[in-house]
A and B are shown apart, each in its own frame.
Chain A
Amino acid sequence: MKSAQNTTQFCYFRTMASVLILFAHPVFEKSRVNKALIQKISNLEKVTFHDLYEAYPDFDIDVEREQELLLKHDIIVFHHPFYWYSTPPILKQWMDLVLEYGWAYGTKGTQLRNKKLFNAITAGGGFTAYQTEGHNRYTIKELLIPFDQTAFLCKMTYYPPFVVHNAHLLKPNEMEAFADDYLKIITGLRDGVFNEDDLVKADYMNNLIGKPYTL
């Protein structure tokens, strides 16, 4: 514990990056998995946890404030349940309004250049379901192509997703394990412990901390 703290201190002066977690869950109060995940990462140094449904229950997103937040952070996380192979509507609303032409994309839209983006998702389906042969027919990575492309258009780097499969069936100890994984990934990204090559190539962020899903 002590040594970890020292590393943190050390990295703070070197390469410590800031992380913005944009969390979107319409019924967070009913989600056990997300409660466990968020409990771990909501009070970390250089990590900003931003609960979109709490901030904008009426979907009236404050674009200026959101853009300021983006500018202040290096790594952006879309943290959400994987509803209908996508995000809950507020995150889409957020993308539509905040990622403005001329600001986030377009020839003059360079404000997000070189920032990193990835999705942290909880999915009801298992790893096998998200395969060509599975009943979802596509992999998570394939289904997330719109986000990959969004990052590309905004001149950001798109990282692989952190995924919690079978979210409905997890037992408390399993949830706790995923929460620890999430913490490791977020702090690892913040402290720059991962290799950039591995990051870009991996299918799941889970692989980087030695917890890959397998068939």
Chain B
Amino acid sequence: MEIKSFLFQAVVYLASAIIGVNIAKRLGLGVVLGYLLAGIVIGPFVLGFVGEEGKDLMHVAEFGVVMMLFVIGLELEPNLLWRMRKLILGLGALQVLITSLLIGSIAYSFGQTWQASIAIGSILALSSTAIVMQTLSEKSLLKTTAGKSAFAVLLAQDIAVIPLLALFPLIATTIPEMETGSLIHDFNGWQQTLIVLAAIAGIIVFGRYVIGPIFRWVSKTRQRELFMATALLMVFAIAELMVIVGLSPALGTFLAGVVLANSEYRHELESDIDPFKGLLLGLFFITVGATIDFKIIGSNIFTVISLVFGLMLLKAIVLFVLARFFGVKSDQKIIFAVSLSQMGEFAFVLFSFAGQYAIIDQALINLLISVVAISMALTPLVFLVNERVILPRFFTKEKQDRAADDIDEQHKVIIAGFGRYGNIVGRFLRANGVSATVLDNDSDRVDLLRKFGYKVYYGDASRFDLMKAAGAENAEIIIIAMDTPQQCLEMVSLVKKYFPHLKILSRAYDRNDSYDLMEAGVDHIYRETVDSSLRLGTDALKMLGFRAYKTHRAARTFLKHDEKSLLDLIKLRNDSSSYISVAKEKITELEDLILRDLKDEQILERDMGWDSKALRKAMAKEAND
């Protein structure tokens, strides 16, 4: 293959990434698979745009992994870890250990070396953080027991990558060329250890005491790119230090990330590093895709397929059994087990790492990488099968169990979301003797409300099963008062689809949100700021000496007028408006509104019944005659 210019390569990689990820997203396959597909397409087996140089590029792209670990470190808030310690150290650690052990023993029994078996087992035990988190949040499952447990396991796996990175060089039989870059080869064993420890201590001290002042000094310039440069410099410097002392750069940056997780610059660092991380990781996955050897897969197609299903089943069973011991109940167990059953993107990282140390045979790595990729691609499908086939069967049983003690407590009203909006509605209804079933995903609030005798269900209200458990089938009204317009809309579509008999009363954030809700078919929409703004306006008019009753009626008239124009303006709303900038759209709309205010006859000439002008004229005429 001829050598292509740098620009040509850049064009090929970026274009393939954009197209690949876009298509994958639309198919619901997730970003990682998009990159992989892009890599496969431009790789030697399909279009052949990239060939051997892909391997070199991989080394650059691996820096994305280093950055990913830095960001993972940043995200590991000590508080969060402490709160979830039981799940992470229990459920998570056990999952990694047991699954590694099982897969490792199988590999060993198939004639792999013990080193390779350990590597394969531990690598395949990991799940895909990117895909799982994405899918769980898409399905609003993150706040459920299953979601939380899955998150804990993923955290445990992320952390487990660090010891694995440290472990592979130790069990390696050959030392790769890369390692010769280490400058501490001339020292003897204990000196080397000392230097390594000093480097780690250095990173911790540096992160604690030096980085803060540096960032403060840099941020004084108010140049964002300088801050970004500093962040990148820090990551590069730590990575280089790690290479010098012969440790994994990923390990070093992870450590730095953890040290900085509590600093005031955490969010800024994260948002600065994130785009680089994302692009480099994308590049990394593309190169993985490009290096997949389809000849090997083609000749071992049955092995690949049976490996995919065997491994996923094995992982799911381990997860399911473990979930029993950690208080995950009924349908949540299945969601939990299914969601983590695939292999993850860490496998690509660790396999290439293991390849460098020649722990695993390259042909096998190729085969396993394709297994991992296929299992990741299957995840959305597995979720779907679980939702459509497994859960409904499982759930009917659940419902029968519960119906006995719940049936006489059914409320006619369900309130989804008991935040600052929903709580007022709920209190008002309760003050008038109407009890409502509340769905909320803030556990502290749920505890409090339960104390006061509210019937509260914890969890994301837009989950079908939760709605069902809350008695949606027998309720009459649902009040949707969730915090974000997005959540409210999701809730509306769920209700419209599964509980069409419910009258929907929905909170709306603003006009645009009202339009969305109207288009979703909601009849009763309440913009959250309108009433309060009008009350304020009413009081302002009163303070200016207007009659209270006049201002009161004026506010009612204005509200009616405003809602009428809402109905009229929605007809003018076209889809192309999304291309106009939002701000401009808002201004145009405001202009329309003000013009309508000026034209509305109702506003100008209301209360004609009380107007005596016409009467006065007629009477004066009569008197004159």
Contacts and interface: CB of A to CB of B under 8 A. Distances in A.
Nearest to A58: B552
A57 B552 contact: yes
B612 A53 contact: no
Interface residues of chain A: helix, strand, loop or mixed (majority): loop
Given A54-B547, A57-B548, A30 B611 contact: yes
Contact of A168 (B547, B549, B607, B619): B619
Considering residues B549, B552, B553, B612, which has the most beta carbons from chain A within 10 angstroms of its beta carbon?
A: B549
Chain A interface extent, by class: 10 to 19
B612 to A, nearest CB: 5
A138 interface: no
A26 B549 contact: yes
A29 B550 contact: yes
A44 interface: no
Contact of A124 (B546, B549, B615): B615
B572 interface: no
A169 B620 contact: yes
Contacts of B623: 169
A169 B624 CA distance: 11
B610 interface: yes
A57 B542 CA distance: 11
A28 interface: yes
Interface in A32-90: 53-55, 57-58
Interface string B577-620: 00000000000000000000000000000010011100110011
Contact of A57 (B549, B610, B615, B619): B549
Contacts of A29: 546-547, 550
B547 A28 contact: yes
B22 interface: no
Contact of B548 (A54, A124, A166): A54
Contacts of A124: 612, 615, 619
Interface residues of chain B: helix, strand, loop or mixed (majority): helix
Interface in B312-351: none
Considering residues A30, A55, A57, A166, which has the most beta carbons from chain B within 10 angstroms of its beta carbon?
A: A57
A215 interface: no
Contacts of A1: none
A28 B551 CA distance: 13
Interface in A127-180: 166, 168-169
Contact of B547 (A53, A166, A169): A53
Contacts of B547: 27-29, 53-54
Given A54-B547, A55-B548, A57-B552, A30 B619 contact: no
Given A53-B547, A53-B549, A27 B619 contact: no
Given A124-B619, A168-B615, A169-B620, A53 B610 contact: no
A54 B538 CA distance: 12
Contacts of A27: 547, 550, 607, 610-611
Considering residues B550, B552, B553, B615, which has the most beta carbons from chain A within 10 angstroms of its beta carbon?
A: B550
A167 to B, nearest CB: 8
A84 to B, nearest CB: 10
B552 A30 contact: no
A28 B615 CA distance: 17
A57 B551 contact: yes
Contacts of A169: 616, 619-620, 623
B484 to A, nearest CB: 32
Contacts of B615: 124, 168
A26 B548 contact: no
Contacts of B549: 26, 53-54, 57
A87 to B, nearest CB: 14
A106 B108 CA distance: 99
Contacts of A166: 619
Given A26-B610, A30-B610, A168 B548 contact: no
A124 to B, nearest CB: 6
Interface in A96-150: 124
Nearest to B538: A57
A53 B619 contact: no
A168 B616 contact: yes
Contacts of A30: 610-612
A147 B549 CA distance: 25
B539 to A, nearest CB: 11
Contacts of B607: 26-27
B289 to A, nearest CB: 67
Given A30-B612, A57-B549, A57-B552, 10 more contacts: A27-B550, A27-B607, A30-B610, A30-B611, A54-B547, A57-B551, A168-B612, A168-B620, A169-B616, A169-B619
Interface of B: 546-553, 607, 610-612, 615-616, 619-620, 623
9 closest pairs, A vs B, by CB? A57-B552, A53-B549, A57-B548, A168-B616, A57-B549, A27-B610, A54-B548, A29-B547, A168-B612
27 contacts: A26-B549, A26-B607, A26-B610, A27-B547, A27-B550, A28-B547, A29-B547, A29-B550, A30-B610, A30-B611, A30-B612, A53-B547, A54-B547, A54-B548, A54-B549, A55-B548, A57-B548, A57-B553, A58-B552, A124-B612, A124-B615, A166-B619, A168-B612, A168-B619, A169-B619, A169-B620, A169-B623
